[in-house]
């Protein structure tokens, strides 16, 4: 199986030893504590699950600035985005503190941190990082809006993660750590595994894209890996996405060819940089390939259609990742060929030869109880989504 990023073995920061974890939970009650913001909490969950391998904790300011500028830490570790704990709370360097979860009632302790440094971050440094990560400083960009309000102190140091926030309890059948996914891939005996990232339900085009990638690469299986964390307003909730994706896999894929899983992270909407982060996640999960499609991890019109592919050719150093990407064009149902194709593979087609529907048009149809055409969405999937949208109006 492919090696994790940056090390020979995966280094999850969750404390798996039960006795040790219980002792740390007791210790945490006597420690000074801070309430994390959702972004820092998601970073802790991802470090706990091994997704941010080989990091041992939150980055300091020098590493965060270096990663934002050059995609590597001061010591040269390739990493596409800063993994930080920014706060406005008062923290002392050299202290040991409890990190409390903002997303669970009662704010239980999520992790314990040994604070190595507390550094003030200026507005100019925030803007520098935001511009490099998101390629814009527009406050209407959801990622920029979130990042610019996280806090003005960077607290860095190693952490010990004690639980996986609400993800394990709210999504017990779907949430998986990178450790668990690696183990399951090994149990299947798969060597070549294609990952498909999604924050949306999967329509016919997504389904066929997974099938195309699997066939062209000769893969043993597919990892459908959905984001379970915070999204922007208007995005479809994780439980609805989960139900629709599981139904699609159950009905339209061969048994034991697809793993449907999710991970606990808040969407950044960082386009190209987030696509590279997704590649790090999937390499740490044991996947050999990641499908990167049109406007991967994008939002609005902030990124070019294929910027998330070209960043791998132009900015990711050779050898920085072992995982390879599968470049996908926009896919759609061809009326001429009676099947889903990549649009670039059908040069003799006009726009009218494809079944193309905007997200807005689909939402309006589903809200009225009208099923999109079967060429666009499987009827079983459309039913789940239609029930959801109609519930919003009831």
Q: Checking phi first, is residue 6 left (phi over 0); if not, alpha (psi -120 to 50) or beta?
A: left
Reported confidence tier of residue 339, pLDDT bands at 50, 70, 90: confident
Where in the chain are the domains?
A: 18-168, 173-393
> What local confidence, expressed as pLDDT, does residue 359 receive?
66
pLDDT 10s digits, 219-258: 999 999 999 987 777 778 888 999 999 999 999 999 999 9
Going by C-alpha positions, the residue among 106, 111, 101, 114 that lies closest to residue 25 is: 111
Distance CA 178, CA 282 (A): 8
- Express as a percent the part of the chain with pLDDT over 90: 76
> What local confidence, expressed as pLDDT, does residue 126 receive?
98
Q: For residue 361, is pLDDT > 80? A: no
| Virtual torsion, Cα 324, 330, 333, 339, nearest 10 deg | -30
Reported confidence tier of residue 81, pLDDT bands at 50, 70, 90: very high
Return the higher-pLDDT residue of 321 and 298. Answer: 321
| Virtual torsion, Cα 59, 61, 64, 66, nearest 10 deg | -130
Query: 228-262: string of b/e by CB count within 10 Å (b at 16+)?
Result: bbbbeeeebebebbbbbbbbbbeeebeeebbbbbb
* Beta carbons of 181 and 221 less than 8 angstroms apart: no
**One CATH from 2.60.40.60, 3.40.50.720, 2.40.30.10, 3.40.50.620 for 173-393:** 3.40.50.620
User: Which residues are tagged catalytic?
Assistant: 199-200
Cα 120 off chain centre by: 28
Q: For residue 358, is pLDDT > 70? A: no
* Beta carbons of 27 and 112 less than 8 angstroms apart: yes
pLDDT 10s digits, 269-298: 999 999 999 999 999 999 999 999 888 898
Distance CA 318, CA 53 (A): 19
**203: CB partners within 8 A, 6+ apart:** 372, 376, 377, 378, 381
- Cα 217 to Cα 253, 262, 311, 338, distances in angstroms: 17, 23, 21, 23
Distance CA 127, CA 313 (A): 26
The rounded mean pLDDT for the chain is 93
> What percent of the residues of the chain are helix, what percent strand, and what percent coil, each to the nearest 5?
35, 20, 45
Task: Decide yes or no: CATH 3.10.400.10 for domain 18-168.
Answer: yes
Distance CA 199, CA 241 (A): 8
Cis peptide before 69 (omega within 30 of 0): no
pTM more than 0.75: yes
- Of 28-32, 128-132, 336-340, the poorest mean pLDDT is in 336-340
Q: For residue 123, is pLDDT > 90? A: yes
Q: For residue 36, is pLDDT > 90? A: yes
């Amino acid at each position: 199986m492919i090696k994790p990023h940056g090390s020979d073995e995966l280094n999850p920061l969750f404390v798996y030893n039960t006795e040790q974890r219980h002792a740390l939970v007791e210790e945490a009650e006597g420690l000074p504590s801070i309430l994390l913001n959702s972004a820092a909490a998601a970073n802790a969950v991802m470090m706990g699950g091994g997704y941010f391998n080989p990091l041992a904790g939150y980055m300091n300011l020098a590493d965060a600035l270096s990663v934002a500028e050059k995609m590597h830490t001061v010591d040269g570790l390739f990493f596409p985005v800063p993994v930080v704990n920014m706060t406005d709370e008062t923290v002392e360097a050299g202290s040991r503190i409890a990190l409390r979860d903002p997303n669970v009632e009662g704010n239980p302790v999520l992790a314990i941190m040994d604070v190595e440094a507390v550094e003030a971050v200026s507005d100019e440094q925030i803007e520098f990082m935001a511009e490099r990560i998101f390629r814009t400083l527009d406050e209407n960009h959801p990622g920029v809006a979130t990042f610019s309000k996280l806090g003005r102190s960077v607290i860095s140091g190693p952490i010990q993660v004690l639980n996986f926030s609400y993800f394990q309890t709210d999504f017990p059948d779907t949430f998986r750590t990178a450790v668990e996914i690696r183990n399951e891939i090994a149990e299947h005996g798969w060597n070549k595994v294609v990952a498909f990232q999604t924050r949306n339900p999967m329509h016919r085009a997504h389904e066929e894209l997974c099938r195309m990638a699997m066939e062209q690469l000769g893969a043993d299986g597919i990892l459908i890996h959905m984001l379970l964390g915070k999204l922007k307003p208007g995005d479809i909730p994780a439980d609805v996405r989960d139900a629709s994706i599981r139904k699609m896999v159950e009905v339209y894929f061969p048994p034991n060819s697809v793993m449907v899983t999710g991970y606990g992270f808040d969407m950044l909407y960082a386009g190209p940089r987030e696509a590279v982060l997704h590649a790090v996640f999937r390499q740490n999960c044991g996947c050999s390939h990641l499908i990167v499609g049109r406007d991967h991890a994008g939002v609005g019109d902030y990124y070019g259609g294929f910027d998330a592919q070209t960043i791998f050719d132009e900015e990711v150093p050779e050898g920085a990742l072992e995982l390879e990407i599968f470049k996908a064009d926009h896919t759609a149902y061809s009326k001429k060929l009676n099947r889903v194709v990549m649009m670039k593979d059908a040069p003799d087609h006009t726009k009218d030869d494809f079944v193309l529907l905007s997200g807005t048009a689909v939402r309006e149809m589903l809200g009225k109880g009208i099923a999109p055409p079967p060429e666009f969405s499987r009827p079983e999937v459309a039913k789940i989504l239609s029930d959801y949208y109609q519930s919003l109006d009831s």
